[in-house]
Amino acid sequence: MKKQVVLTPEEEACLQKKPPAWRNWLILAIAVLVYVVSTQLSIPGLDRKGTLALGYVIAVIILFLFEVFPIAVISILAVVVAGPLGLVPEAEAFANFAVGPGFFVFGVLMIAIAFTSTGFGKRTSLYVSGLLGSKPKNVLLSYMLGTGLVSSILADIPTAFIFGALAVELLKKNGCMPGCSNFGKSVMIGIPIAATVGGLGTPAGGALNVMTISMLANLCDIQVSFLQWTIICFPFATIMLFICWFILCKVFPPEIDNVEGLDDIAEQKKELGPMSIQEKKYLFIFAIMLVLWLTSSIHGLSLWIIAVVGAAFLFMPGIDILNWRQMGDQVSCEVPYLIWGTNVVAYILSANGTAAWIADNTLGALAGSSTILILVIAVFLGVYGHYIIPGATALLAVLIPIMVMTAPVLDISPMLLVMCISLAAHVTTLLPFADPVSMATYNHDYWTIPDMVKYSLIYGTVWIPISVAYLLIFHAIGLVA
């Protein structure tokens, strides 16, 4: 006799939202049709392989956008069909699939899980809350700075969940009604924004960072160390956190004068007591990893070797911070596979001349224009390109090869153009439903999609001139060479 499965109301609602089966078959047919049509096209300036590569990339992006298959499956399909379709030799396709950044992200995800499971994540969030006083704007700033700092060295999604769960209790104690409270909106929007912006501070903060570092190395032989990225991006992330906080205070002015309940947080901190043995083990291992990352240019170990070996020690007998069998759904391989798949897509764009053709027919027309104008347009594409290619990793996979090919024509440093695109790609909240970090606080019902989009349009527009001016300064001093 089969055991009856009882679903919770949330699980039933989730199942009801699943698209009908025919929808995925239709989208798959459209993706295949796109490639078939490309086999019959003759595009001026693009040879047959370049045209096929264009059709292939569009088809893969369609599959990614609508998640016709699981992300990991699409990524594997992208590499296994590249050889038979004649786009690149099979060996080259696989060589560009299992690249280091995917392993780096996998290792960092293990570190993030340990951050939560040891209790160190809760301890950190409690100590940050209310650090700047009880005025609503100060409480918002303390949450955003805390979230941003933690997400700069750990995965942004769990960071947003941890701080969001703590903040919602404080909002309830202050009578902040979901959907109506401006203070509630600002806090619950500010936390995922801070996780996203803070995540660009170091390579460990997110997949986009290591993806950019990898593509700079692979496409134009520019090596960016952990320390160099941090020196460039951490100050920018800090500046943007303060600007995002300021805009939030203006867009959603708090309706309360003082935040109550911070005393309860102080009590919770006392109840935690001293750091546990597990927390100390975790902190020791992570501190060693951080030092090795920062000194990678000295000892020569790659970022991904350090990440994977460090994560492996979390499972060692005697340390026992993580147990693979008990982790269950906490382990998600989708992000590493997404990086691997999009790296193959980027390689195929470059190897077949498709990226160069797109570059010549788009940004190539700006040859002779001022550097500032070119950079502004590049950042604009990176920010608002999310409305064309919603996935940030897919957006970078398409735009970075184009920037690399365009740079010599425009007489601009390829690193400068690529960094403009990479920083801009972090404005993921323009399409919050396509960004898991944004959705980390959505289920608390304090903000709506229009609320997030309205705010993101403002800070995304402000992002453009600030990032251009900032990167030009670092280009002038030689750090963005």
Looking at residue 7, its pLDDT comes to: 42
Q: What token pair was written down for 468?
A: 């251009």
Specify the pLDDT at position 387. Answer: 78
- What CA–CA distance (Å, rounded) separates 203 from 233? 9
Q: Divide the 481 residues of the chain into consecutive groups of 10 and give the mean pLDDT of each group.
A: 41 52 89 93 90 91 82 89 92 86 82 83 76 86 91 79 81 86 93 92 86 87 90 95 95 88 74 87 92 86 89 90 74 74 84 83 78 91 81 81 86 92 90 72 84 90 96 90 76
CB-count exposure of residue 95 (10 Å: 0-12, 13-18, 19+):
middle
pLDDT on residue 256? 87
Six-digit token pair at 124?
A: 């950190």
**Contact in structure between 340 and 102 (CB atoms under 8 Å):** yes
Q: 20: which residues sit within 8 A by CB, 6+ positions away?
A: none
Tell me the chain's radius of gyration from C-alpha atoms. 23
